[in-house]
């Protein structure tokens, strides 16, 4: 299969075939289909933009662990993506999309340190948009780049956005529970919110912004109603503050 030729199947069907080929050891065929999906899926259906950068790259990454040509193909596309960024203005949607793709390709390759390194190089030239920082925040904190994170740590901007997102997820979660009473509950919105706030507190503590950390703790406790969440969150934050 040529990566640009028309295909009789729908993109998701090609992706499913690639997964099946991977499981059956048909590695060369699987790689051709992953390449086709990556380069052509959005021409068929723009709503596949999320699948293209998440599940599809994840499946491709699994093939790359056992088939070197699949790994090289991912690396080549990743490097091309990085090269394209150098000719695009940072404050544009195109740059955001390229950086996001670069980040997810590194995730598939299990080379997220490359995203961290590139972010740091870009930051030396100028401060990046907050949306770019948020893509790589967890990896930066994991790498203990606390001072760098602190430059983007404007809680008055970050917290309201995260709180709004949390409430939206919580509402969907509650609706899902009502509609599916016999099925296991989805991942907790509370837990996601708690983890995100704790990441910020880690940065604040490590950059001597202790008072802001305490204020963030109290603000979070005021916004959340579930007592079980409050107890576990307060315990975790007190460990970080002490």
**Both 171 and 103 in a single domain?**
no
Q: Is residue 148 situated within a structural domain?
A: no
Containing structural domain, residue 162: 155-241
Predicted confidence at residue 4, as pLDDT, reads: 47
**Both 96 and 184 in a single domain?**
no
Residue 115: count other Cβ atoms within 10 Å of its Cβ: 22
Domain end marker among 51, 81, 110: 110
Q: Is residue 118 situated within a structural domain?
A: no
**Both 30 and 100 in a single domain?**
yes
Q: Mean pLDDT across the stretch 6-34? A: 91
Q: Is residue 105 situated within a structural domain?
A: yes
* Start-to-end C-alpha separation, the chain: 59
- Cβ-proximal residues to 91 (8 Å cutoff; 6+ apart), any chain: 129
CB 159, CB 219: distance < 8 Å: yes
Phi, psi angles (nearest 5°) of residue 236: -65, -45
Where residue 3 falls among pLDDT bands split at 50, 70, 90? low
Distance, in Å, from the CA atom of 152 to the CA atom of 214, rounded to the nearest integer, reads: 18
Measured between alpha carbons, how far is residue 77 from residues 49, 106, 222 in Å?
Answer: 16, 10, 46
Whether the CA torsion 231, 234, 237, 242 is positive or negative: it is negative
**Both 16 and 94 in a single domain?**
yes
Q: What is the pLDDT of residues 51-78, one digit of tens each?
A: 999 999 999 999 999 999 999 999 999 9
Where residue 6 falls among pLDDT bands split at 50, 70, 90? very low
Which of 11-15, 24-28, 114-118, 188-192 is predicted least confidently? 188-192
**Both 15 and 106 in a single domain?**
yes
Q: What is the pLDDT of residues 168-195, one digit of tens each?
A: 888 888 887 788 877 776 667 888 888 9
Task: Take residue 206 and report the two structure tokens written for it.
Answer: 């490590």
Predicted confidence at residue 95, as pLDDT, reads: 95
Predicted confidence at residue 199, as pLDDT, reads: 96
Distance, in Å, from the CA atom of 55 to the CA atom of 110, rounded to the nearest integer, reads: 14
Task: Take residue 43 and report the two structure tokens written for it.
Answer: 């021409």
Residue 8: count other Cβ atoms within 10 Å of its Cβ: 6
**Both 100 and 20 in a single domain?**
yes
Q: Is residue 115 situated within a structural domain?
A: no
**Both 102 and 169 in a single domain?**
no
Residue whose entry in the numeric block shows the structure tokens 């007190």: 238
Could you tell me what percent of the chain has a pLDDT over 70?
95
Could you tell me what percent of the chain has a pLDDT over 90?
74
Q: Is residue 64 situated within a structural domain?
A: yes
Q: What is the pLDDT of residues 129-138, one digit of tens each?
A: 999 999 999 9
Residue 177 CA, chain-centre distance (Å), reads 26
Domain end marker among 110, 132, 166: 110
Predicted confidence at residue 187, as pLDDT, reads: 66
- Per the structure, how many domains does the chain have? 2
Q: Is residue 225 situated within a structural domain?
A: yes
**Both 176 and 106 in a single domain?**
no
Q: What is the pLDDT of residues 64-123, one digit of tens each?
A: 999 999 999 999 999 999 999 999 988 899 999 999 999 999 999 999 999 999 999 999
Distance, in Å, from the CA atom of 118 to the CA atom of 62, rounded to the nearest integer, reads: 24
**Both 105 and 175 in a single domain?**
no
Predicted confidence at residue 79, as pLDDT, reads: 97
Statement: residue 26 has pLDDT above 70: yes
Q: Is residue 5 situated within a structural domain?
A: no
Domain end marker among 110, 142, 165: 110
**Both 23 and 78 in a single domain?**
yes
Predicted confidence at residue 9, as pLDDT, reads: 75
Q: Is residue 162 situated within a structural domain?
A: yes
Task: Take residue 29 and report the two structure tokens written for it.
Answer: 């065929």
**Both 105 and 170 in a single domain?**
no
Q: Mean pLDDT across the stretch 205-226? A: 92
Statement: residue 147 has pLDDT above 90: yes
- This prediction has a pTM of 0.86
């Amino acid at each position: 299969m040529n990566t640009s030729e028309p295909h009789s199947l729908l993109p998701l069907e090609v992706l499913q075939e690639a997964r099946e080929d991977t499981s059956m050891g048909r590695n060369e065929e699987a790689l051709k289909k992953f390449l086709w999906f990556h380069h052509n899926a959005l021409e068929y259906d723009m709503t596949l933009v999320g699948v293209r950068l998440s599940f599809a790259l994840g499946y491709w990454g699994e093939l790359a662990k056992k088939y070197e040509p699949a790994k090289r193909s991912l690396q080549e596309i990743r490097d091309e993506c990085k090269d394209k960024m150098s000719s695009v203005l940072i404050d544009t949607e195109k740059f955001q999309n390229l950086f996001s793709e670069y980040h997810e390709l590194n995730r598939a390759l299990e080379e997220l340190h490359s995203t961290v390194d590139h972010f740091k190089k870009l930051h030396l030239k100028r401060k990046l948009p907050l949306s770019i920082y948020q893509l790589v925040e967890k990896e930066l904190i994991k790498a203990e780049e606390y001072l760098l994170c602190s430059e983007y740590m404007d809680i008055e901007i970050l917290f309201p956005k995260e709180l709004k997102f949390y409430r939206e997820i919580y509402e969907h979660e509650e609706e899902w529970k009502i509609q599916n009473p016999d099925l296991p509950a989805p991942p907790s919105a509370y837990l996601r919110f708690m983890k995100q706030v704790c990441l910020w507190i880690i940065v604040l503590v490590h950059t001597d912004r202790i008072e802001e950390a305490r204020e963030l703790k109290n603000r979070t406790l005021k916004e959340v109603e579930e007592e079980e969440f409050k107890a576990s969150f307060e315990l975790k934050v007190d460990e970080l503050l002490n």
